[in-house]
Every structure is written in structure tokens, then in C-alpha cells.
Structure 1
Amino acid sequence: MRFALSAQHRDFATSLHDYLAGADTPGAVRAWGAGRHEPGLTILRGLAEMGVTALLVGEGHGGLGASPVDLVVAFEVLGYHVVPGPLVETAAVAPVALTGHAAQRWLPSLAAGKAFATVPVPLALDADIADVVVGADATGDAEFVRSIDPARRLFRIPGATPLTGGEAFDTGVLAVAAQLLGAGQWLLDASVAYAKQRRQYGRPIGEYQAVKHLLADVATHLELARPLVHGAAVTGSPRDISAAKVKAGDAAYLAARTALQVHGAIGYTAEHDLGLRLTKVRALVGAWGDGRFHRERVLAR
């Protein structure tokens, strides 16, 4: 048996990369954080046309009936390109959490990218644009809560029941782990590219052994995290999913710290795209259960 992504998986990832590379996601992220959603919504609708929001929706509701492995492939690319919006909630959690009449009402629209979902865990992402709140009847009186990541617009919804476990929760955790993996890979790629062009004492800084060691350490941690994320998508085990979230979070956080060290002062500027990933990684490490929560879940199982 060969445990590897299929040619279809790789082609799907490539098509998503190609689309997002030309979609100005950094500009959409900055606009989203300022409350201007249209650039980001345009990207989300484009992703819906490519099938991202329909992956886990059953064929009976207009979806693709795909597997969690397909979901992980997509969300790693979304994390790489730091796509804004409630995609975890819409594409990963809602298709699992919504059943019965709610599924009939909402899943076709969610699959088509005509509606978006949010989930209180306990805070709800982008509740101001969500059409359905899993665990609540409406978004009324939602209270805005500032995140360390300006593009993550969080809300506290009175009366909403937080999602804290079960298959839907685990699917959300898995999608976040894949996002962290993608964000960490972008940070590594950006750091390698910068180390090749930034010169100090007449040489590219990437030629110095100390910088090589820093980047090699990040690459190693990302490569160790990737099979955990993919393996968790195959098994669906809560233990495996929590282990994947911990390892992907640790690897992405190391990538963020190293990227900032390699880039130096320019990495602190608001104009540089590095900052978009730094704040995203820091927020996602604690989202859908922090490291302590998931380590305790692993130990309990």
C-alpha cells in the first residue's frame, strides 16, 4: 500500500495555488481586517466555484462527497495564501454539524458559496457576514472581540452553544492544522528566498551556516508535521487530530519566529506580507483548542 497524495490531489492543490497566486490575497486580508469584505468574498466565491466549499457536503445536497484528505489538501493551500473568511466553519464544520432540516436548508447554499457559516468555539469567526450560526438561531446582538490577527473578526454570540467536541469539532481542528502547515510552508519559502537575496558583508545571508541551520530546522519540523496531518485525515481519530494540531502549530510557530529573525527589521513593518502570516499563525495556534488542550486530549486517549 502506498501512503501518498494521488495525482488528483496534487492537481487540485496546483489549481488552487494558481488561482490564489493571482487573487491578491494580501490585499483582501488587509481589507477584511478593516471591515471591507468584498475583495475577500470575491476570492471565496472563486474558491466555491472550484469546489472547496462543496468538498464535505454530500452529493444529495449539491456537494462533492469528498474525503477529509481532500479537505486537508485544500486547507493547506488556503493557509499558504492566508485566505480570509470563515472557510473552516463553512467548508469543514457545517457539512458535518448540520443535519435534518438545517442540512436541507443550508448545505446547498454553503456548497455553492452563496452562504457562509460560523461556529462559536466559544467565539464565532466573522459572524457579521455569516448566514447561519451552528449552535445558535441568529447572529443578533453579537459582540465584537478583537483578535491578535486583525483579519480574524471574532464575535461573542449570546445564547450560542459552544462546539467543544465531536466529529464536527474534530473536522474543524483538522482544517486549522492544515492551515497552520500551509502558513508555515509560506514562511519557510519566503525566508529562503529572502536569505538568497539579502546581502551582508558582501555575501547573501543564506550562505552563512547559522542561517542555514535555522531554515533547515524549520523544514524538518514542517516535514515531520505533514504526515501527522495527512494521517489524521485518514484515521479520523480524535487523538491523531489533536496530535496533528499540536505538531502543526509548533512547526508553524517556529517558522514564524525564524522568518522574523531572518527578515530582520523589515519583518516588523505593516506593509510587508510577512506580518499577515505572523499574526495568523499566532491566532491559529490557540484557535480550536490550544496546545495544552490538545496535549491533554492525546494523553486522555
Structure 2
Amino acid sequence: MRFLLETEHADLASSIDAMLSRADVPKIVRALVDGDAQPTADLWSRLADTGVTALLADEEFGGMGAGAVEMVVAVEQLGRHCVPGPVAESTAVVPWLLSATGRRDLLEPLFAGQPATIAHDLLARRAADTASCSTVLAIRGSRLSTATVRDTHRSVDPTRTVSDVEPDETVADDVDARRAGDLGALATSAQLLGLASGMLALATDHARSRTQFGRPVGSFQAVKHHLADVAIAVEMARPLVHGAALAVDAEGATDTVPTDVTRDVSAAAVACGRAADLAARTGLQTLGAIGYTREHDLSLYLTKTRALLTAWGTPALHRRRVLEAIAP
């Protein structure tokens, strides 16, 4: 397998990064916390214009016909900028499922910038951010259906809710729930990887600009070592995400060596969760108490990281899957 990205992947990441930098996502997140959801809706419309929500949908249904590699490249940037909303669901799980079942009518609102969400009976029993979504789905066994929201619960991330849903109208009776779960876990891993990169950048910038005893904080060896540990964790996790994406794309191809896709996805989930958790703790150690405050952007990353660490499978579940694969 090749783990180096092609030029088009770098261009995709750069274009999304530039768009999100101009959008001032932290300001949008704070507006959402204050109850103003319009800036978030506008942001998702712009993301849809870039094709982020259409990457995994077939071209015959108006999608991009891209693969999991392109998806994780895009989602990492969404994590790096702390984009609110059901990211894994709207960029990976739902577009792939609706494309696989031929439901163009349900895809069109997503392509127009209205997020979609889904509850998965094995990995994500509650649907995220249903209030902002045009489409709410549920998977029970191999049955995919539209869903009705019953109860909505707050999350540690003030921009995120999770809802209990009830299956409604059947969309398809024979969907690949295992692959849908792998895509959800893979996209969440990429988002956590982006969050880790964003927190590392915030901590590094602070260490360079903050002075103590007449010297930048970043000049102290202990601070350097902690930040270096985060950088290593991020760079070690990224190839696992790309490798898992390659495995997802190669699954079912006759000219490739069979691989345990779920094992690769779970390995990426463990590594990215660990990197994001380390980045969060190191960021707080570097910034001190200001990192907790709403005024600093790090606080937005901290709460989203904490919420996503158990989304689409807990770390314990993914570790168990890896163990079962290597020591059956």
C-alpha cells in the first residue's frame, strides 16, 4: 500500500483549509452555543459547494464518485477547524448508504448543504445533531429506515446533541451495516486527527508567544518534549487513517490482497483517539487555566474531542476488535 497522498489530495485539503480559515469557524461555533444556528447552516452550505458531502456518493446520483481516502483528507480539515455538526454522518455514512440504495431524493438536500444524521445499533445508538438535519436515519440489523426523534440529550460539547430515534419508513432491507459502521468510525478518526492537529497548533503558537522569566515558554525543554510527543502521536496516527481508508476503498476488489478492514479502521480509531486525548491534555498544560475559558479557542476543541472519543465506537470496543483480529 502507498501512504503518500497524491497532488489532488493535497489540493483538496488546501482548498478546504483556505475556505474554513476565511469562514472564522470559532466565531461560528460561539454563535451556535449562543443559540444562533444560521452561521452554522451557512457554513454547511459552503462545505456542500466544495463537494465534501458528495465525495462518497456515486456520480449517477449527483455525487463525486470519490473514495474513502478523499473523504478522510477532507474530514481531517473539518476537524482541524473544529467544524460543528454531524461531520462523520454527513460526509461518510449517510451519503454512502443513500447512494448504495439509490435514494437520490434523500441525497439532494445533503448535497444542497443540509446535514444528515444516522443512528447505528452497534456503534452509534443515538443520532447526533438531529435538529440541524434534513434527514434522520437509523440502521437496525441490515434494515435502513428514516427515523423519528424521540428524546434529545445534551452533550459535553455545547454545540452537539444526541437523540434517541425510532425507525420509521424502510429505505432498504439489506444494507451493509458493518461497512456503514466502519465508515462512521473512520470518519470520526479523521476528525479526531484534525482536532489533535488544531490543538497542537494552538499550543505551539501559545508556547512561542507567551514568555516567562524573560523567555518564550516554548524554549523550556519540558514544554518542547510534551509538544513533541503530541506531534509524534499525530504523525503516527495519520498513516493508520490513510491505510484504513485504502483498505475500505480496496474492499471487494479482485486484484488486491484481502485484509481485515474493520481491524484497520479500529486501529486508526485507537491511534487517533489517543493522539487527540494527548493533544487536549498537553494543550491545557501549556496554556494553563485560560485554555478552559470560552474566550480561548482551545476550549472549543477540548469539548468536541471529549464528545467524539466515544462516538462511533468506544476506545475499548476498538481495542477489542484489534485484539480479536490479531489473536483470535
Q: TM-score, normalised by structure 2?
A: 0.86
**Cα distance, 1:159 vs. partner?**
4.4
Contact 1:33 1:152 in 2 (8 A): no
Contact 1:110 1:117 in 2 (8 A): yes
1:246 alignment counterpart? 270
Whole-angstrom CA distance in 2 between matches of 1:17 and 1:78: 8
Shift of the 228–112 alpha-carbon distance from structure 1 to 2, 3 Å rule, reads same
Whole-angstrom CA distance in 1 between matches of 2:6 and 2:155: 37
Whole-angstrom CA distance in 1 between matches of 2:176 and 2:306: 21
State which of 226, 235, 247 in structure 2 corresponds to 1:235. Answer: 247
1:156 alignment counterpart? 164
Q: More strand by proportion, 1 or 2?
A: 2
**Cα distance, 1:54 vs. partner?**
0.8
Whole-angstrom CA distance in 2 between matches of 1:242 and 1:254: 18
Residue 18, structure 1, aligned to residue 18, structure 2? yes
**Cα distance, 1:98 vs. partner?**
2.6
Secondary structure of 2:264 counterpart: helix
Whole-angstrom CA distance in 2 between matches of 1:164 and 1:202: 60
2:312 alignment counterpart? 288
Contact 1:98 1:134 in 2 (8 A): no
Whole-angstrom CA distance in 1 between matches of 2:243 and 2:235: 13
Whole-angstrom CA distance in 2 between matches of 1:200 and 1:100: 57
Residue 166, structure 1, aligned to residue 178, structure 2? yes
* One-letter amino acid of the counterpart of residue 197, structure 1: S
Secondary structure of 2:36 counterpart: coil
* One-letter amino acid of the counterpart of residue 282, structure 1: R
**Cα distance, 1:190 vs. partner?**
1.1
Contact 1:57 1:111 in 2 (8 A): no
Residue 127, structure 1, aligned to residue 130, structure 2? yes
Map residues 141-290 of structure 1 onto 2, 5 A cutoff. Answer: 142-159=150-167, 165-236=177-248, 237-290=261-314
Contact 2:137 2:147 in 1 (8 A): no
**Cα distance, 1:30 vs. partner?**
2.1
Whole-angstrom CA distance in 1 between matches of 2:281 and 2:177: 31
**Cα distance, 1:111 vs. partner?**
2.5
Contact 2:61 2:102 in 1 (8 A): no
Contact 2:109 2:134 in 1 (8 A): no
Q: Bigger shift: 259-268 or 120-129? A: 120-129
State which of 146, 160, 179 in structure 2 corresponds to 1:137. Answer: 146
**Cα distance, 1:164 vs. partner?**
11
1:83 alignment counterpart? 83
Residue 41, structure 1, aligned to residue 41, structure 2? yes
* One-letter amino acid of the counterpart of residue 297, structure 1: R
Whole-angstrom CA distance in 1 between matches of 2:31 and 2:208: 31
Q: Bigger shift: 150-159 or 221-230? A: 150-159
* One-letter amino acid of the counterpart of residue 26, structure 1: P
**Cα distance, 1:100 vs. partner?**
7.1
Q: Bigger shift: 33-42 or 20-29? A: 33-42
Contact 1:187 1:259 in 2 (8 A): yes
Whole-angstrom CA distance in 2 between matches of 1:128 and 1:75: 21
Contact 2:237 2:271 in 1 (8 A): yes
Shift of the 264–85 alpha-carbon distance from structure 1 to 2, 3 Å rule, reads same
**Cα distance, 1:101 vs. partner?**
6.5
Q: Deviations over 1:71-95 (max 9, x none)?
A: 0000000000011112321220012
Point out where structure 1 has 5 or more consecutive residues left out of the alignment: none
Contact 2:44 2:115 in 1 (8 A): no
Whole-angstrom CA distance in 2 between matches of 1:265 and 1:203: 20
Whole-angstrom CA distance in 1 between matches of 2:212 and 2:17: 33
**Cα distance, 1:97 vs. partner?**
2.1
Q: TM-score, normalised by structure 1?
A: 0.94
**Cα distance, 1:291 vs. partner?**
0.5
Percentage of matched positions with identical amino acids: 48
Residue 108, structure 1, aligned to residue 117, structure 2? no
